[in-house]
Amino acid sequence: MSTKGTHIPDRLKIPFAGITPAPTQAKGQDLFPTGNWRSIRPVYRDKLPPCNNACGTNEKIQGYLDLVKRGKYVDAYALIKEDMPFPSVTGRVCYHPCEQACNRGKYDEAISIRAVERFLGDLGQALTHDVVKAGKPNGKKVAVVGSGPAGHSAAYQLARLGYKVTILEKSPKAGGLNRGGIPDWVLPQDVLDREIERLVELGVTIKTNVEVGKDVTWNELKKNYDACVLAVGLTEPNSVRAKGENKEGVLYGLPFLRDIGMGTSKVKLGARVAVIGGGNTAIDCAREALRQGAVEVTMITVEANPQEMPAVPEDLHDMLEEGVELVHGRAMTAVLGKDRVEALELHRARFSGAINASPITVNRETPAERFHVDNVIIAVGQRAALGWLPDEFKSERGTIKIDRFGRLGDTHFFAAGDVVQLGSGQPLMVVNAVGDGKRVAFNLDKVLRGEQLEPRTIPVDVIFDLNRMNMTYFPHFPRVHQAVLAPASRRKTQEEVIQAFSEAQAVEEAARCFSCGTCNACDNCYLVCPEPCIARPSRSNGLYKILVDYCKGCRVCIEECPTGCLEGVPELDFDTGVVRMDTAFAISPGLHGRQAEELRNLAERAPKNI
Amino acid sequence: MSYKELTVWTRGIIMDKEGRDIVNSISAAARLEGKYAQAMENYVDNPDRTNAPTRKYCRVSDGVIEHELTYENEQPNIVVLVEGTMVKGWDYMRGMPPGGTLVINTHYTPEYMIRFVPGADRLAQLVCVDAAHLADHKWLYYRLGELGLDRLSTEGAAERNKMVAPDIAAPLIAAVVKTTGIVKMESIEPMIANKRAFEMALDNLHIMPLNPVAA
């Protein structure tokens, strides 16, 4: 046999000639490699699920749902903690862009990702020791200004990288917006306290009552620390520039919530309260007003209908359940009253433009309306207080000017969170600030180690199309809903409105996950392969192997993969996997070759030998 | 005296007819020219299994072919791979004397494909032709069109067409005839059903000259 230049792997050579078992006999498969029947090769290639892509901090949502499904709760908690320092907080407050993106939403109902995250966060809080450990100290000091979501996240990631982190917080209690912007009935203070304890356990020092620009200057930050992350947030409320806005009884949204959160509130609300604004903070203010003793709360928005309000529909629904009235298409033009607010002057108005820095068209030709109130809470956005910042780093939007890595020029200062995201088109959410803090921490680490900064990679293959998965494997199954306090009973208490999942509920909900585009070790390919040429030492993602010597490229595994992580790639794209045979059946020289040889020699042989 | 052997490697069921059309039409054309020719299929390869590699043989000679008791081509001068991936899997170069020709149906270039060819020093030329594209496979489903697989070219009941070379075979015949001159162009062209693909292929061959043998 002329095998010059051909390659037959040793493992495929026949041990002794003459006995070739049929493929169906014992060991027959070993001698019958059908890999060269193949023109496409199945390849496990995980894609990005849409939830991971939509999440502000790119939590590995599919990963932890899969672990919850298998009962590996601590592993799931450890996975979530890679990207999210406080799952118990975001499990309560997040506006869950992941659930909006969830592919299951196109099929029946999106998965309650937030509720599972809360289940894991609460589980993590109950652990005696956190799963996350501080990195090996590298001797470098970093200051983080602000202990809100972005600052907390940056400090957490830097501590894990081995930095000595000091958080400077101007309020008497750490927590920033998590404490001051989110009411107790959404996020109980003890939950947040526990998460901050966890941060301190990582070795982070938190200095409260330290305000940048007052107690510590720019130059001191520069001198005393190797690097600094500015996550100061938006602290100053916007005004609506109405006449008489300085009258007693006029409150601003975020300070109103902040004072209650910090326990320093002296506000006593009257019976009739109006809230100006249609965003999420306005909704929180309206609901908090009820709990602070108001009897009748009215929300006055410029938007013409509820759908246009820049608020989360669920929260709006909960607010309306609690009995808050909505008035649309009005703008407050004056606060009427002697010293104290007695009524508001409203005009018809139209909202046009972006969520932030809105130009409002007020129609002054129609007669003004008088609206009796005892208090008015103005919640129309916030801005940053950046008096302490050198002018060269201020942007025209009133934010900190950064490059695409979150860095201020060539300095070792970085900025993250709402103070850079305002007006960038990115919605101002806790989870986006956390993601920003995380990325800035990694960039800071690279700068201090003298490495090249790389721009954020664009996710190349996100599965948005249900046709890329095999939907026959997913029966319709309703979403598990979280229990909610009855509207009448929750109106007056600070108790959490939305209740936690039980273990059974969390597992049931996690089991609904499609695991879009990502192998979740369902074993389907292993079972359906007719050859069988899919091998695995144990049932686990990443351990499935295609035996390319035997795979015929029949596509059965690709078609039957429920999650769409298996792909058919043209075999010619691979240099490997060459198994050469002489004929279709045998590795040894073909039967016909031998017969031909005998027949050719026939004439030369003596008749008795035939 | 000129004696040439042509071996076609094709895939069972799905591209079986393509291979048969190549050997039948070339041997028929040779007989029209007054030559002696044989064409046969290798049933031992079991062409009734989908995707299984099967061989079709053709011999063209100026004189009587005495080789009648065996049908396996011992020394193929020309090898045609009807499906490009076969370049990786089989010892199709076995027995080829120096100065041979290898024709592959693929959209890759000869420069890419040569890495998979065992014993390429025996080749005088490597010819790549994107036959699946030239034959314009509108009826292919999945991504088989990109791979050059013809899912419907089956034997028997499901066979689409009784014409000779209605699709992928036509550009391949053009490639064989143009690069080797085994038969004359004018004797084979009237037999081909897909004239358009046949003519387009004559202008769209990717020929890589290798080691010519001195005549």
Helix, strand, coil abundance in chain B, percent, nearest 5: 35, 20, 45
Got the DSSP string for A567-601?
A: EEEEGGG-S-----BSSSS-SSSPHHHHHHHHHHG
Dihedral sign for Cα A221, A226, A227, A228, please: negative
Using an 8 Å CB-CB cutoff, list chain A residues near B121.
Answer: 5
pLDDT digits (tens, 9 = 90+) for B38-67: 999 887 777 887 788 889 999 999 999 987
User: Quick one: average pLDDT of A536-543?
Assistant: 88
Closest by CA position to A40, among listed B80, B130, B84, B114: B84
Query: Given an 8 Å threshold on Cβ–Cβ distance, is A572 in contact with B120?
Result: no
Lowest mean pLDDT among A62-76, A247-261, B129-143: B129-143
Query: Given an 8 Å threshold on Cβ–Cβ distance, is B53 in contact with A37?
Result: yes
pLDDT digits (tens, 9 = 90+) for B122-144: 999 999 999 888 886 555 444 45
CATH number of the domain at B3-209, out of 3.40.920.10, 1.10.8.60, 3.40.50.10440, 3.20.20.80? 3.40.920.10
Distance (Å, whole) CA A39 – CA A35: 9
Distance (Å, whole) CA A55 – CA A81: 14
As a CATH number, domain A26-46+519-573 is 3.30.70.20
User: Quick one: average pLDDT of A203-220?
Assistant: 91
Query: Given an 8 Å threshold on Cβ–Cβ distance, is A39 in contact with B83?
Result: yes
CA distances B102 to A81, A335, B3, B82, Å, are 58, 91, 17, 11
Domain boundaries, chain B: 3-209
pLDDT digits (tens, 9 = 90+) for A37-49: 888 889 998 899 9
H helix runs in A214-360, sequence order: 218-224, 253-262, 280-291, 313-321
Instruction: Indicate the SS3 state at residue A6.
Output: coil
SS (H, E, C) A135-193: CCCCCCEEEEECCCHHHHHHHHHHHHCCCEEEEECCCCCCCCHHHHCCCCCCCCHHHHH
CB atoms within 10 A of CB A222: 14
Fold for A238-383, please state it: FAD/NAD(P)-binding domain (3.50.50)
pLDDT at residue B199 in the model: 95
Write down the ipTM of this complex: 0.85
CATH 1.10.1060.10 fits A50-131+469-510, yes or no: yes
Instruction: Indicate the SS3 state at residue A53.
Output: helix
Per CB distance under 8 Å, which residues of A are interface residues toward B?
1-7, 35-40, 552-555, 568, 570-572, 575, 577-585, 590-593, 595-596, 599
Backbone angles phi, psi at A41, to 5 degrees: -115, 130
A207: left (phi over 0), alpha (psi -120 to 50) or beta: beta
Q: How confident is the prediction for chain A on average, in pLDDT?
A: 85
Q: Which two tokens stand for residue B43?
A: 């049933």
Domain A141-235+384-448: CATH class, spelled out: alpha beta
* Distance of alpha carbon A36 from the chain centroid: 43
H helix runs in A70-112, sequence order: 73-81, 87-93, 97-101
Which of A580, A587, A595, A598 is the best mutation test for B, with the most CBs of B within 10 A?
A: A580
Query: Given an 8 Å threshold on Cβ–Cβ distance, is B90 in contact with A553?
Result: no
CA distances A160 to A78, A85, A440, A577, Å, are 13, 11, 14, 42
Is the separation of the CB atoms in A281 and A181 below 8 Å? yes
Q: Looking at CA atoms only, how far is residue A590 from chain B in angstroms?
A: 9
Query: Given an 8 Å threshold on Cβ–Cβ distance, is B89 in contact with A599?
Result: no
Query: Given an 8 Å threshold on Cβ–Cβ distance, is B51 in contact with A39?
Result: yes
Using an 8 Å CB-CB cutoff, list chain A residues near B108.
Answer: 572
Q: Which two tokens stand for residue A25?
A: 């006999």
User: Quick one: average pLDDT of A358-383?
Assistant: 84
Inter-chain CB pairs, A–B, below 8 Å: 107
Domain boundaries, chain A: 26-46+519-573, 50-131+469-510, 141-235+384-448, 238-383
Instruction: Find the helix or strand (DSSP H, E) in which A298 lies.
Output: strand A296-300
Do A141-235+384-448 and A238-383 share a fold?
Answer: yes
Whether the pTM exceeds 0.90: the reply is: no
Per CB distance under 8 Å, which residues of B are interface residues toward A?
11, 44-46, 51-55, 69-72, 74, 83-91, 93-95, 106, 108, 112-113, 115-116, 118-121, 142-143, 146-149
Got the DSSP string for A347-400?
A: EEEEE-S-SSS--EEEE-SSPPEEEE-SEEEE-S-EE---TTS-GGGB-TTSSB
pLDDT digits (tens, 9 = 90+) for A397-426: 888 988 889 899 889 999 999 988 887 777
Q: Looking at CA atoms only, how far is residue A593 from chain B in angstroms?
A: 7
